[in-house]
Amino acid sequence: MASDFRQEFIRFTIEQKVLRFGEFKTKAGRLSPYFFDAGLFYDGAALKALAQFYAKAVLAAGIPFEMLFGPAYKGIPLVAAVAMALADAGRNVRYSFNRKEAKDHGEGGAVIGAPLAGRVLIVDDVISAGTSVRESVNLIRASNAIPCGVVIALDRMERGNGTLSAVQEVRASYNVPVISIATLDDLVQYLKADTRHAGHLDALGRYREQYGVTGNA
- In order, the DSSP letters of 107-146 are T-EEEEESPP-SEEEEE-S--SS-HHHHHHHHHHHHTT-E
Distance CA 214, CA 141 (A): 31
Please identify which of the residues 25, 74, 103, 200 carries the catalytic annotation. 103
Q: Is 103 a catalytic residue?
A: yes
Name the DSSP letter for residue 72. T
CA-based Rg of the chain, rounded to a whole angstrom?
17
Whether residue 34 is preceded by a cis peptide bond, meaning omega within 30 degrees of 0, is no
Backbone angles phi, psi at 43, to 5 degrees: -125, 165
Please identify which of the residues 105, 192, 197, 200 carries the catalytic annotation. 105
**Using CB atoms within 10 A of its CB, is residue 200 exposed (0-12), middle (13-18) or buried (19+)?**
middle
Q: Is 197 a catalytic residue?
A: no
Estimate the crossing angle of helix 4-15 against helix 44-61, to 10 degrees.
Answer: 160
- Contact of 203 with 175, CB cutoff 8 Å: no
Please, what's the b/e burial string for 67-106 (b: 16 or more CB within 10 A of its CB; e: otherwise)? bbbbbbebbbbbbbbbbbbbeeeeeebbbbbbeeeeeeee
Kindly list the catalytic residues: 103, 105
